[in-house]
C-alpha cells in the first residue's frame, strides 16, 4: 500500500521554486530508489536504510554457490516487487510527461513502477526485475516463466511475503539457501542472470548513449530520489552541469551531485512531485 503525504504549504512553496529552476519545457528526469520507498520498496542508501551488501557481478558469474544463494533469495523476493504499486511521485511524473513537460525519464530502479504509472519514454538504466537473460546466448525471457521452473525444482522452498525482507533488486533476506536447485537456460544450457545491472557490471553502452542523448536534448534535468552515489547516475548530472543545463535535485539526505545542483530540495519525492505537477497544470 502506498503512503501518501499531504502537500503542505511549505511543500507547495518548494515546488514553486523547483518549477522556477526547471523552466517551462523539455525536462529530463533521473530517478532513484528514494522515489519507490513510498511504494514499500526499500532503498540502499537512504537516511533510515539498514546496511545492505548486494551481490556483485563477479561473485555471481564466478561461483555456483553464489548463484544458488541469489536465485533462492530472488525466488522468494521477486513477487513482492510485482505486488508494489506506483505512488504519487510516479503518477505525478507520468502526468507531467502527458502534459508535455517531461521529454523522457531515466530510472536507476528495476521495479517498472514508472511504466505501471503510465510513463512512456522510460530508459531502464539498470534493467528490469521482470526479465532474465542468458549469459551465453543472450536470450531474454520473462521472470514469471522462470518462477514456474524454480517452483517445480524446489517445491519445498516457499515463504509468505510477510516473512522476508526484500531489497530494491527483489533480493530477499533468507537465512539458509542450502539445497536450492538453480535452473539453467532451457535454450542453450547457459547461466541465467536477472536482466539487472549488478554492482561491478557496466551499463550497456547503447543504453548509456540513449540516456546521454535525452539529457543533451533537455532544457533542465530533475533528479528525484537518488543519492547519486554510483557513477551510473552521477554521470548524467555532470553531463548536464558541463553543458550549463540547470540541475534540480529532490532527495532526503546529501547526494554526490549537490555541488553541481542549481537547486537542492531536501524533501520527500511524492508530495513534492505531486505539487510540482499541479503547478505545471495551472
Q: Which residues are catalytic?
A: 126
Is 176 known as a binding-site position?
A: no
Quick one: which of 141, 95, 133 has its CA closest to 114?
95
46 labeled binding residue: yes
User: In 3-state terms, the chain is what percent helix, strand and coil (to 5)?
Assistant: 40, 15, 40
Q: Is 44 annotated as a binding residue?
A: yes
Residue 130, annotated ligand binder?
no
227 carries a ligand binding annotation: yes
Q: Which three cell numbers stand for residue 137?
A: 546466448
Contact 254, 136 (CB under 8 A): no
To which residue does cell 537518488 refer? 226
Residue 280 labelled as part of a binding site: no
State the cell numbers at 59: 561473485
Residue 77 marked ligand-binding: no
Question: Is 252 labelled as part of a ligand binding site?
Answer: yes
Which residues are CB-neighbours of 31 under 8 A, at least 6 positions away? Answer: 93, 105, 106, 107, 108, 109, 114, 223, 224, 225, 226
Instruction: Detail the residues annotated as belonging to a binding site for NAD(+).
Output: 32-52, 108-111, 225-227, 251-253, 269
Annotated binding residues for Zn(2+): 134, 137, 185, 188
Residues in binding site: 32-52, 108-111, 134, 137, 185, 188, 225-227, 251-253, 269
Amino acid at each position: 500500500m502506498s503512503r501518501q503525504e499531504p502537500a503542505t504549504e511549505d511543500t507547495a512553496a518548494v515546488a514553486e521554486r523547483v518549477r522556477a529552476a526547471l523552466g517551462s519545457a523539455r525536462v529530463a528526469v533521473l530517478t532513484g530508489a528514494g522515489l519507490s520507498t513510498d511504494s514499500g520498496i526499500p532503498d540502499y542508501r537512504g537516511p533510515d536504510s539498514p546496511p545492505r551488501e548486494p551481490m556483485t557481478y563477479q561473485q555471481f558469474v564466478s561461483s555456483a554457490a553464489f548463484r544458488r544463494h541469489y536465485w533462492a533469495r530472488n525466488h522468494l523476493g521477486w513477487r513482492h516487487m510485482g505486488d508494489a504499486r506506483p505512488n504519487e511521485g510516479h503518477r505525478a511524473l507520468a502526468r507531467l510527461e502527458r502534459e508535455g513537460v517531461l521529454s523522457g525519464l531515466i530510472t536507476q530502479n528495476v521495479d517498472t513502477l514508472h511504466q505501471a504509472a503510465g510513463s512512456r519514454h522510460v530508459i531502464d538504466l539498470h534493467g528490469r526485475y521482470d526479465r532474465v537473460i542468458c549469459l551465453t546466448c543472450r536470450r531474454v525471457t520473462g521472470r514469471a516463466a522462470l518462477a514456474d521452473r524454480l517452483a517445480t525444482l524446489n517445491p519445498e522452498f516457499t515463504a509468505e511475503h510477510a516473512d522476508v525482507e526484500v531489497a530494491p533488486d527483489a533480493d530477499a533476506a533468507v537465512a539458509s539457501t542450502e539445497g536450492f536447485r538453480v535452473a539453467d537456460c532451457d535454450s542453450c544450457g547457459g547461466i541465467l542472470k536477472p536482466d539487472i545491472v549488478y554492482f561491478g557490471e557496466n551499463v550497456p553502452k547503447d543504453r548509456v548513449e540513449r540516456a546521454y542523448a535525452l539529457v543533451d536534448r533537455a532544457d533542465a534535468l530533475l533528479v528525484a530520489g537518488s543519492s547519486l552515489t554510483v557513477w551510473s547516475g552521477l554521470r548524467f548530472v555532470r553531463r548536464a552541469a558541463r553543458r550549463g543545463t540547470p540541475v534540480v535535485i529532490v532527495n532526503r539526505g546529501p547526494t554526490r551531485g549537490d555541488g553541481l545542483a542549481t537547486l537542492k530540495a531536501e524533501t520527500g519525492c511524492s508530495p513534492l512531485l505531486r505539487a510540482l505537477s499541479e503547478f505545471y497544470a495551472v
